[in-house]
Amino acid sequence: MGNLTQNAVNVNGPQITVEQVTPEMARAWLGANVGNRPASSAHVAKLERAIRDGKWKMTGDPIRFSTGGSLLDGQHRLTAILQSGETVPCVVMRGLDESIFDVLDSGKSRQKSDVLFVQLGLPVETCKMLATATTWIIDYEKEQYGFPGKAEKSEVLDFVKRNPLAIAAAEYAQALPRQAPVPRSVAAMFYYYASQNSQAKAERFLERFMVGAVDGATDNLLYLRNRCAAATLDRRPIHRSQILRALIRIWNAEMRGKPIKHSQNAMRTDDAFPTFI
């Protein structure tokens, strides 16, 4: 597996070596890159420049392989080595359990969407939408109505595995226009809950708000759309917590058959955060 300049082997666990990694070795090892996150071309380019400029420094962060030989971590470094055509020293660790994959963080930290991509095999853009929307859903479940978005990667993955409707919500939101009054991930979070009441009504509701197909000039969602658009133009976008508060309040009123009479009341913040009915 290459020329060893140092060898530190633990017979009861992973094997750690320092190796001069050639472009040929990098190419072969990348062939074992099964189920890894999508590579970032920008990060690879940064590493490649460092190698070409003689600024590469070996750190203690290893290139990692599983007990079965799969590459768990290091694809950006290996791609940079391959593209640079240079040989550089790297720490290499072999014999790791496959299960550690989703908690590995290297030179470019894994994002929640990276873990979803690897574990679920969904398209990259779907995973990005799903990761963000699920984070808001978890906040809502925890009654963290400021929506701080601090859910851990493992928490997001576990939630999606237990609640596949989150995937359907992300896929639905992806089909909405990009030029919408709020990020589509907010719509995905809303759809996750509202569609459990009525899928058709949830889709019509979001068509009115996200697309602009409103029910006349007095539609509460038209008022909310206009407020969001004006705030964005002023470079003072409305926080997702306030948007979701208004959306849920309007939805609940319509589900009760008693739409809000004065649209500005949807934006009130002087009472408890509403929950879906």
Encoded amino acid at 249, one letter: R
CA gap 92, 62 in Å, rounded: 5
C-alpha atoms less than 13 angstroms from C-alpha of 103 in its C-beta half-sphere? 7
CA gap 229, 171 in Å, rounded: 24
Question: Which residues in the chain show pLDDT less than 70?
Answer: 1-13, 34-37, 98-110
The whole-number pLDDT of residue 5 equals 42
8 Å CB contact between 225 and 214: yes
pLDDT tens column, 29-55: 998 876 666 778 888 999 999 999 999
pLDDT tens column, 138-164: 999 999 999 999 999 999 999 999 999
Displacement of CA 196 from its chain's centroid (Å) = 23
Task: Give residues with Cβ within 8 angstroms of 14, minimum separation 6.
Answer: 93, 94, 95, 96
